[in-house]
Structure formats: structure tokens, C-alpha cells
Amino acid sequence: MYIEDVPVVVVGAGPAGLAAAIALGRLGVETMLVERRAELSSLPRATAVSLRSMELIRSWGVEDAVRAEAVDVEWHGSLSETLATVADGSTWPTGIPTREQAALLSPTAPACVPQDHLEPVLLDHLRSLGATRVHLHTEVVGVKGLPEGVEVVLRDVARGDIRTVRARYLVAADGARSPIRRALGIAMRGPDGLGHVVTAIFRAPLWEVVGEHRYGVYSVSHPQGAGTFLPSGHGDRWHYGTWVDADDIEHYTPERFARRIRAGAGLDDLEVTIERTGDFSFAAQLADRFRAGNVFLAGDAAHRVTPRGGTGMNTAIGSGHDLGWKLGWVLRGWAGPELLDTYEAERRPVAAHNVARSADPDGSTREAADELHVDLGGRIPHVWVGTAEGRASTLDLLGRGLTLFTGPDRAEPEAARQAGGPPVTVRRLDAVSARSIGIRGHGALLVRPDGTPAQLWTHDASAAA
């Protein structure tokens, strides 16, 4: 047993933990990421990467790497008797904007990317930052609050070695059954067991079946194959799921799945290779609180959603990023600890909305216009502007500290030259672009690193300093 000191320990290398660690690493904050699994999951799990998640991924410089395994689809849902009759079926909105809609709102677009591709890309990026030590196959066996931090006891799963880490803050992104949350006595509220689903990961040439009708979700109603088909990576990799009674789960053999997939596809002779099968139950729950002292809950440890709407992974990424940059600012001395109170204040309403939506039997069907504000979270508008390096979005111009947007005639504000506090990056925009984000005349807009406006001087920025 030995003792280490580190500013932040992040527990869990899922979307929330990776996003938090990346936000900290990009601020140069030393962090330890521990994960009980020996390697990341090989299951595709979530496949919908929202517009805001892709904006964050773009800001991290890994958009191309993430899209390398993306499936070219439009984010509609399809309903038909079988996949072979998809042309005769109908489509429904999923709450995710189409590529055409996204082009008006953002420099990027939503993506259909399996989680088992996204997570390794994010982990590789995290390791490249150099500020984070990653320990896989390491579990938390004890957590104790200290006057100025947290003591975390870790065990190497393979060797059994024990070590103690003292951290200023602990991020518990350790999943829906979060041992840390249970140890803290924080309850989850909301229904569990809303339904039981059996799933299969398989390969079959279904793109040949659906042809030009390439969507993110396919629901089929054939009596012998009713269920949902999801594209889950390049090539012919797919995910199939169907509702079952709890006592029927064990009867779903690979052979039975293959029969249902053929019936749902509408092809009796379809060649199907089942790779994995599994089951899960639907839950829509929210933790009573997201914080206990210097321990913060993130991802499924704080909010569980059903697959309806595809918001689970995206809520986790957004919460992890929000918590990460705020912890980083406090540890860098750019803000006082009161900034950390805004984590739950700002993220809880988003999580609560998505939890409630996922509990709604019709939660998968939403117009993009009704859900985009939840995903984008009030960040500044996207406007294409010219820079010395070429065309860039206003979202691309955000710095790791504060960003001050001004019109073309504004002299450099005194605030940008003051020592202490977060760095301030000044971005002068042409008059039309400045007007597009709310600046008039000698006004200015001060923006946080997540794109949220901090202060707007509509006409006169004389008070900016």
C-alpha cells in the first residue's frame, strides 16, 4: 500500500468520465482516470451522437477520427412491416436534426457512430494530452471524505495490489449501479423495470435490402420479427432489439434471434451471423443530488434514461464536459469554488428533461425544433466568419478561458490585458457577423469556454473591464 496525491480522480472510462478527463487534460490539470474493466466495451451500445456532442468532439480535434466509423444515414426513424417494404412505410422525426437542418445551426452535424468506436478514439485523445494517468483494470474499494478533498482506495483487479490516492476532487462516472453513489447514500428516483428488451449484435447485408432509405432507426411490425434495427458501424453490422416478458429472456437463443431477424427483414434466406446477445431493462431515474462534498456524480451514476430519444450518451458527454472544465478552472485558480455549484444547477434540468422524455412511450418521436434547445444548451449562435486561417465558425473561435467578441471598430479592451483570472481571447468580427450574435455598435459579448454567454453589452462595452 502506498499513497499518491492527484488533483482529480475520475472513476469510469465511459462517455461521461472520458469527457470530464479530456476537459481537465486540455486545461493541463493532472488527473487520474481509473476503470474497472481491463479494456473498453466492445458493444456498440449508443449510436446517436448529437449535434452538441459533435461540436465538442470537433473542438477536441477528433471529429475526423470519430467519423471514420460513422454510418451515412439521415436521422429519421422508419416504420414498416419489414425492412424489405421500407419504401412503403412511413418515417418519423427523432428529435435529432437532419444534415440540412444542422448546416444552418452548426459547423458540424450529428453522427451515427457506435459507442465502441467513439470511446477508444476519446481515450486515445486523452492519452495524447499528457496530463492524465489512465489505469484500466482498477477498481475503487473505498472512498472517504477529507477536510480538503477525498481519499480513494484503489485495487488492481489482476494483481490485487492496493493503493490509496488523495485527491482534491472525485468524479464518479462509474455507471448506473455506481458503487460510489451507493456508498454516499444518494438515492435514485424514478421507475426501473419499465420493460425488458433482448438484443443481438449481428452481421447481415441489410443495406442491400433498404437501398436508398438509409435511416438511423428502423422499426418493423412483422408478427414474427417485430422489433428495432439499428445500424451499428461500417459494413453490415447491426443491432436488433425486441420487447419480451421477463420470464422469456432465457429462451432467446442465437437461432431464435436469427429467425426473428429474417422475418423482420422480410427475407427467409437472409444470411445472418449472430455475434452477441444480451438483455436489459428500461429505467428512467435521476439522482437526488449530483454532489456530496468534493465528490461529483456524472453520466449514468447521476441520470439514467431509456434508449428512447438517444439522449443517454449525449447527456453524459455534456455533463462530463461541463464538470471537467469547471473543475479545471477552479484548480487553475481562474474561478472560486462557487463555480462548482453551477454544475448541478445547469445540468440537472437537461438530465431531468431527458429522463422524463425517455419514460414517455412516445419519447422516440420528437420534432428537432422541440429538442434542439435541450441539446445545444443556450450556446452562442454559429456564424461562419473569415479568419487569417480561413473560414471558421464562431464556435471554433472559443478559447479555453473567456472569449470576448467585439465588432470591427472596437479597440482592445482593458480586460484582455489584465493579469490573473482566466485568460481572455479577443475576437473581432465584421459588422454583420457581430450583429448575428447580438452585438451592436461598440458592444461586446463575453463567452464561457462551453459557448454559454456570460455577459452581453449590446451597444457599449465601456464596462467590459
What is the per-residue pLDDT across 67-97, written as a single tens digit (0 to 9) for each? 999 999 999 999 999 999 999 999 999 999 9
- 423: cell is 485568460
What is the per-residue pLDDT across 290-302, written as a single tens digit (0 to 9) for each? 999 999 999 999 9
CATH of residue 204's domain is 3.30.9.10
Same domain, 51 and 98: no
Same domain, 452 and 371: no
Split at pLDDT 50, 70, 90, the class of 305 is very high
Residue 465 maps to a domain: no
* pTM (whole model) above 0.75: yes
Residue 463 maps to a domain: no
Same domain, 326 and 388: no
Split at pLDDT 50, 70, 90, the class of 214 is very high
DSSP 34-86: EESSSS--------EE-HHHHHHHHHTT-HHHHHTT----EEEEEEESSGGGG
Q: What stretch of H or E contains 12?
A: none
What is the per-residue pLDDT across 50-60, written as a single tens digit (0 to 9) for each? 999 999 999 99
Number of domains in the chain: 3
Place of cell 425544433: 369
Range of the domain at 223: 71-112+192-282
Residue 47 maps to a domain: yes
Same domain, 311 and 429: no
Residue 415 has pLDDT above 60, yes or no: no
What's the mean per-residue pLDDT of the chain? 94
Same domain, 159 and 305: yes
Total residue length of the chain: 465
What is the per-residue pLDDT across 335-366, written as a single tens digit (0 to 9) for each? 999 999 999 999 999 999 999 999 999 999 99
Q: Minimal CA–CA distance to 423: which of 320, 323, 322, 335?
A: 335
Same domain, 289 and 302: yes
Same domain, 208 and 266: yes
CATH of residue 10's domain is 3.50.50.60
Residue 27 maps to a domain: yes
State residue 412's pLDDT score. Answer: 60
